[in-house]
């Protein structure tokens, strides 16, 4: 009897948590479509698509910024997965000079807040003419996504091990070929979560993008935050909703691409 | 296979790592007052000393510590309860986890927007209070945002970090529970006892790591205090940025000294974590032996 009670208490807590997570998102949707919502009304008086139309209108530049921003974050995410996989393989499968330094380096950005690093590197980037450029922003984003990518790929590489790839190598496949046909298909779930994770970290960055991009590199976050700072609820909610929906769509896309990939490699095997 | 292979694999991380270290060291050097481009050439600790004597900066330091400690302790307790709720009600995958992931996906900038539309003096909470007759005007609703109590900022961190803690420690707690937790229940321990004596202690490595991550993050984060923080005192990173963009370039070393202070405290937090886990590990080894 007692255990049934504690079970239903936990269930109750779980539902409250889900409620607290979902309610703000629902309010965000309401604000997006509210054209009039005066005090002290609990629901909007008039609904319209005005804010979405305004955000997506050509003069707001949000639509083109959204796409260039998605492109930027996908680039960061893919690079992060590639560098993460390479670093993870070096750390898990090989012994080399400076291994502990690399291991420490791979988690170090977690212990240096983005603002501190961005202000520190800014002058260096100006001297290297990397500031105000897309490449500069990609580099600083990459530094902050890599700890997560390396961590995910390390766990997976560790669990797969080296044996299967070695076997293919012994049987005469080139190292590259044995990696491509044996290890890569096994790495797909890790690559997928690494890319999703890095994408959301990059897409959410505000401060370091603003400082290093210097207004030249506009991302969706950089465009959205001034509206939140001003307290314009309708427009900033529209930006927020587009942010969340576009991210969910990208996640679906990443999922599809990787499901397709693993299907393809399976077919090739047959 | 090939002796050169690992060195080829680490080329990109080494390049990025050098850049990273260069950025951090460059910031520290500037905090010591060495910025030749601005005509500052002597190395000194004066900037650190003067920020530690300045009441405005000291208030910022207190504020940042208070926000990060209070929000992280709340988040780790509630997050552990959420993890347990997910594990014991068997919701370790599926729709419930998707909702948890949604909270992880929403950036802090949008969390600020949530807080503005719910907690401000004409937000939904105030409207509900008005409807219930608890307050008779907007002004009577307590000031929770842009205020010195930092209620909004702390709530914002808790909102995002509770799901993070759950997501981070879920797999460990689940596997511990499925194996040793259920075994102890089969041997006659009550659910509560097996949780507090078996499952929770063995899940602590993940929970401790999650605590370090949210503690250091909320201490050094910019977005929430920038968007919904009080005019004074400001959180350390926000204060540092204000000094950084000051038109008088001689303020630059103050910005960097504030950053140096943030780094120092973050690293102290990490060092304490390292000491605690090291001690635990040694203890664990002894326990295993006997």
Owning domain of residue A10? 1-48
Of B20, B89, B108, the CB nearest to A7: B89
Shortest distance between the Cα of A263 and any Cα of chain B, in A, equals: 23
Q: Does residue A55 lie within any of the structural domains?
A: no
Give residue for tokens 């090989």: A94
> Residue A64: which of A175, A220, A267, A250 has the closest Cα?
A220
Across the A/B interface, how many CB contacts are shorter than 8 Å? 233
pLDDT at residue A269 tops 60: no
CA gap B113, B275 in Å, rounded = 38
B138 and A28 within 8 Å at the Cβ level: the answer is no
Q: Which residues of B touch A196 (CB under 8 A)?
A: none
Q: Looking at the structure, do residues A31 and A108 belong to the same domain, yes or no? A: no
The CA–CA distances, whole Å, from B65 to A234, B47, B73, B237 equal 34, 21, 12, 12
Q: Does residue A189 lie within any of the structural domains?
A: yes
* pLDDT interval class at A199 (50, 70, 90): very high
How distant is the alpha carbon of residue B235 from its chain centre?
Answer: 14
Q: Looking at the structure, do residues A34 and A68 belong to the same domain, yes or no? A: no
Q: Is B118 on the interface with A (CB under 8 A)?
A: yes
State residue A2's pLDDT score: 47
Q: Looking at the structure, do residues A35 and A88 belong to the same domain, yes or no? A: no
* Cβ contacts of A240 within 8 Å, gap of 6 or more: A28, A32, A224, A228, B110, B113
- Closest-CA residue of chain A to B119: A24
CATH number of the CATH domain containing A247: 1.10.3720.10
B113 and A237 within 8 Å at the Cβ level: the answer is yes
B13 and A106 within 8 Å at the Cβ level: the answer is yes
Q: Looking at the structure, do residues A104 and A170 belong to the same domain, yes or no? A: yes
**CB burial of residue B84 (10 Å; 0-12, 13-18, 19+):** buried
Q: Looking at the structure, do residues A198 and A219 belong to the same domain, yes or no? A: yes
B22 and A13 within 8 Å at the Cβ level: the answer is no
Q: Looking at the structure, do residues A160 and A26 belong to the same domain, yes or no? A: no
Q: What does the domain layout of chain B look like in residue ranges? A: 67-233
Q: Which residues of B touch A24 (CB under 8 A)?
A: 111, 114, 117-118, 159
State residue A164's pLDDT score: 77
CA gap B239, B231 in Å, rounded = 10
State residue B290's pLDDT score: 45
Q: What are the pLDDT digits (tens) for A35-64?
A: 889 888 899 999 998 888 888 887 778 889
Q: Looking at the structure, do residues A99 and A229 belong to the same domain, yes or no? A: yes
Q: Does residue A216 lie within any of the structural domains?
A: yes
Task: Write the DSSP assignment of chain B as a string of letters.
Answer: --TTHHHHHTHHHHHHHHHHHHHHHHHHHHHTT-BGGGTB----SHHHHHHHH-HHHHHHHHHHHHHHHHHHHHHHHHHHHHHHHHHHTT-SSSHHHHHHHHHHHS-HHHHHHHHHHHHSTTSHHHHHHHHTTS-SSGGGS---SSSTT-HHHHHHHHHHHHHHHHHHHHHHHHHHIIIIIHHHHHTT--HHHHIIIIIHHHHHHHHHHHHHHHHHHHHH--HHHHHH--SSSPPHHHHHHHHHT-SSGGGHHHHHHHHHHHHHHHHHHHHHHHHHHHHHHHHHHHHHH-
Q: Looking at the structure, do residues A19 and A102 belong to the same domain, yes or no? A: no
pLDDT at residue A1 tops 60: no
Q: Which residues of B touch A113 (CB under 8 A)?
A: 216-217, 219-222, 237, 262-263, 266
User: Which among A10, A25, A48 is the end of a domain?
Assistant: A48
Task: Kindly state the tokens that stand for B23.
Answer: 């950025």
* Cβ contacts of A210 within 8 Å, gap of 6 or more: A222
pLDDT at residue A189 tops 60: yes
Q: What is the pLDDT along chain B (290 residues), one digit of tens a residue?
A: 567 889 999 999 999 999 999 999 999 999 999 888 788 888 899 999 999 999 999 999 999 999 999 999 999 999 999 999 999 998 888 899 999 999 999 999 999 999 999 999 989 999 999 999 999 998 899 999 999 899 999 999 999 999 999 999 999 999 999 989 888 888 888 888 889 999 999 999 999 999 999 999 999 999 999 999 998 899 999 999 999 999 998 899 999 999 999 999 999 999 999 999 887 776 665 555 44
Please determine, looking at this structure, whether the domain spanning B67-233 carries the CATH number 3.40.50.300.
no
Q: Is B16 on the interface with A (CB under 8 A)?
A: yes
Q: Does residue A115 lie within any of the structural domains?
A: yes
State residue B286's pLDDT score: 53
CA gap B279, B282 in Å, rounded = 5
Q: Does residue A54 lie within any of the structural domains?
A: no
Q: Does residue A237 lie within any of the structural domains?
A: yes
- Closest-CA residue of chain B to A165: B1
B16 and A83 within 8 Å at the Cβ level: the answer is yes
Q: What is the mean pLDDT of residues A163-175?
A: 80
Q: Looking at the structure, do residues A87 and A37 belong to the same domain, yes or no? A: no
B23 and A121 within 8 Å at the Cβ level: the answer is yes
Shortest distance between the Cα of B254 and any Cα of chain A, in A, equals: 12
Name the 3-class secondary structure at A33: coil
The pLDDT > 70 percentage for chain A reads 95
Q: Which residues of A touch B25 (CB under 8 A)?
A: 120
Contact by Cβ (8 Å): A141, A211: no
Shortest distance between the Cα of A162 and any Cα of chain B, in A, equals: 11
The total of structural domains in chain A comes to: 2
CA gap A215, A232 in Å, rounded = 21
Q: Is B28 on the interface with A (CB under 8 A)?
A: yes
Average predicted confidence (pLDDT) for chain A = 90
- Closest-CA residue of chain B to A244: B106
* pLDDT interval class at A169 (50, 70, 90): confident
Give residue for tokens 């010591």: B32
Contact by Cβ (8 Å): B239, A224: no
Q: What is the mean pLDDT of residues A62-71?
A: 93
Q: Does residue A53 lie within any of the structural domains?
A: no
ipTM: 0.91
Q: Looking at the structure, do residues A23 and A136 belong to the same domain, yes or no? A: no
Contact by Cβ (8 Å): B162, B78: yes
Q: Looking at the structure, do residues A165 and A75 belong to the same domain, yes or no? A: yes
Q: Looking at the structure, do residues A23 and A142 belong to the same domain, yes or no? A: no
A112 and B266 within 8 Å at the Cβ level: the answer is yes
């Amino acid at each position: 009897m007692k255990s049934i009670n504690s079970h239903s208490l936990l269930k109750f807590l779980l539902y409250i948590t889900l409620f607290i997570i979902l309610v703000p998102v629902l309010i965000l949707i309401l604000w997006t479509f509210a054209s009039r919502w005066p005090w002290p009304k609990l629901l909007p008086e008039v609904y319209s698509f005005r804010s979405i139309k305004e955000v997506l209108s050509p003069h707001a530049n949000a639509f083109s910024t959204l796409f260039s921003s998605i492109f930027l974050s996908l680039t960061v995410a893919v690079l992060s997965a590639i560098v993460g996989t390479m670093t993870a393989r070096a750390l898990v499968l090989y012994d080399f000079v400076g291994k502990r330094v690399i291991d420490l380096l791979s988690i170090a950005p977690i212990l240096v807040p983005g603002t501190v690093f961005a202000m520190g590197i800014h002058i260096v980037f100006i001297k290297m003419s990397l500031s105000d450029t897309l490449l500069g922003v990609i580099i600083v984003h990459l530094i902050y996504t890599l700890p997560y990518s390396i961590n995910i790929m390390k766990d997976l590489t560790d669990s797969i091990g080296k044996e299967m790839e070695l076997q293919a190598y012994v049987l005469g496949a080139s190292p590259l070929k044995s990696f491509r046909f044996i290890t890569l298909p096994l790495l797909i779930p890790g690559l997928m979560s690494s890319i999703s994770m890095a994408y959301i970290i990059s897409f959410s960055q505000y401060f370091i993008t603003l400082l290093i991009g210097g207004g030249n590199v506009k991302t969706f976050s950089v465009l959205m935050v001034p509206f939140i700072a001003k307290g314009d609820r309708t427009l900033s909610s529209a930006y927020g909703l587009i942010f969340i929906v576009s991210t969910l769509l990208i996640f679906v896309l990443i999922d599809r691409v990787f499901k397709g990939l693993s299907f393809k490699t399976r077919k090739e095997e047959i | 296979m090939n002796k050169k292979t690992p060195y080829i694999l680490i080329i990109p991380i080494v390049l990025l790592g050098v850049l990273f270290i260069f950025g951090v060291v460059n910031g520290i050097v500037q905090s010591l007052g060495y910025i030749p481009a601005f005509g500052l050439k002597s190395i000194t600790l004066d900037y650190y000393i003067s920020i530690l004597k300045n009441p405005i900066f000291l208030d910022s330091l207190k504020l940042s510590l208070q926000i990060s400690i209070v929000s992280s302790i709340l988040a780790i307790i509630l997050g552990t309860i959420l993890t347990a709720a997910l594990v014991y009600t068997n919701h370790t995958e599926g729709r419930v986890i998707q909702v948890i992931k949604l909270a992880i996906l929403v950036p802090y900038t949008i969390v600020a927007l949530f807080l503005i539309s719910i907690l401000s003096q004409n937000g939904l909470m105030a409207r509900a209070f008005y409807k219930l007759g608890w307050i008779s005007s907007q002004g009577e609703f307590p000031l929770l945002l842009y205020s010195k109590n930092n209620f909004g900022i702390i709530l914002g961190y808790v909102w995002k970090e509770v799901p993070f803690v759950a997501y981070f420690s879920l797999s460990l707690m689940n596997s511990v529970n499925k194996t040793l937790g259920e075994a102890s229940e089969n041997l006659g321990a009550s659910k509560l006892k097996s949780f507090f004596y078996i499952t929770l202690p063995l899940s602590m490595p993940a929970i401790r790591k999650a605590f370090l991550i949210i503690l250091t993050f909320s201490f050094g984060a910019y977005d929430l205090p920038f968007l919904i923080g009080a005019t004074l005192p400001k959180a350390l990173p926000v204060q540092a940025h204000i000094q950084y963009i000051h038109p008088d370039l001689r303020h630059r070393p103050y910005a960097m000294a504030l950053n140096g202070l943030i780094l120092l405290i973050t690293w102290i937090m990490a060092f304490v974590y390292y000491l605690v886990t090291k001690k635990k590990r040694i203890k664990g080894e002894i326990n295993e032996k006997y």
